[in-house]
Structure 1
Amino acid sequence: MYIAMNRFKVRPDREEAFRARWLEREVLLRTVPGFISFQFLQGPKREDHILYASHTVWESYEAFISWTQSEQFRAAHAGAGQGKVLTVGPPVFEGFLVLQNIEG
């Protein structure tokens, strides 16, 4: 299993636009082999930003890489550069190989 996360420091005055961009988009992940789940996360509020994260779970690292090379990925990220005005700096990517997974 592999987890891919992007963290975004969203400008407080642009939070509504940022949230709308994510919540109103077409979700193409369900069409990609190896996709398990997606979470859109809101974190703590700071003076200059609100932390958000996108969190995807994949069957394997290879499934994640296939997604990044797919037509669905290109379509999903077509306007990604336009988001810079909504955030403080670029998103920060973090990828994790799952070593242990305990479910309830």
Structure 2
Amino acid sequence: MFIATNRFKVKHGSEAEFERVWRERDSYIASVPGFVAFDLCRGPEKEEYTLYISHTVWATKAEFEAWTKSEAFRLAHKDAGASANRVNYMGGPEFEGFESVLSLSPAEKAA
């Protein structure tokens, strides 16, 4: 499993608009091979911003990388740099990728 995250520093007062953009955008991701799950998570409030992460789970790193080179990826991110969206956050997103080295499910925990 591979987990891809992007951190966003969203300016105070822009949280609702930032979340709306994510809710209403076409992600084109649901039918991509290897896609498992997506979450947009609101984190702690700091002095100048609220921290968010987009959290995407993939079956493999190779499938995530294939997604980043696909037409679906280009379509999903075509408005990411638009000035209307950029006013909501400070700086650009900060990507972090993680390969799973241990994974437990509730059934495995009980066994």
TM-score normalised by the chain length of structure 2: 0.90
Which structure 2 segments of 5+ residues have no match?
107-111
Name the aligned partner's letter for residue 77 of structure 1: H
Question: What amino acid sits opposite 1:79 in the alignment?
Answer: D
Q: Give the letter for the 1:86 counterpart.
A: N
The structure carrying a bigger strand percent of its residues is 2
- 2:109 maps to which residue? none
Query: What SS does structure 1 have at the residue aligned with 2:7?
Result: strand
Bigger-Rg structure (1/2): 2
Q: Aligned letter for 2:68?
A: T
5+ long unaligned stretches in structure 1: none
Q: Corresponding residue for 1:75?
A: 75
Distance 2:73 2:66 in 1: 9
Name the CA distance, whole Å, in 2 between partners of 1:97 and 1:13. 34
Query: Identity rate of aligned residues, in percent?
Result: 44
How many correspondences in the alignment?
104
Deviation for aligned residue 1:13 = 2.1
Q: After TM superposition, which residue ranges in structure 1, 4 or more long, deviate above 6 angstroms?
A: none
C-alpha deviation, 1:14, in angstroms: 1.6
| Matching of residues 88-99 of structure 1 within 5 Å | 88-99=90-101
5 Å-filtered alignment, 1:1-104, equals 1-82=1-82, 83-104=85-106
Give the partner amino acid of 1:92: E
Say what the alpha-carbon RMSD is for the aligned residues: 0.9
Inter-partner Cα distance in structure 1 for 2:105 and 2:86: 37
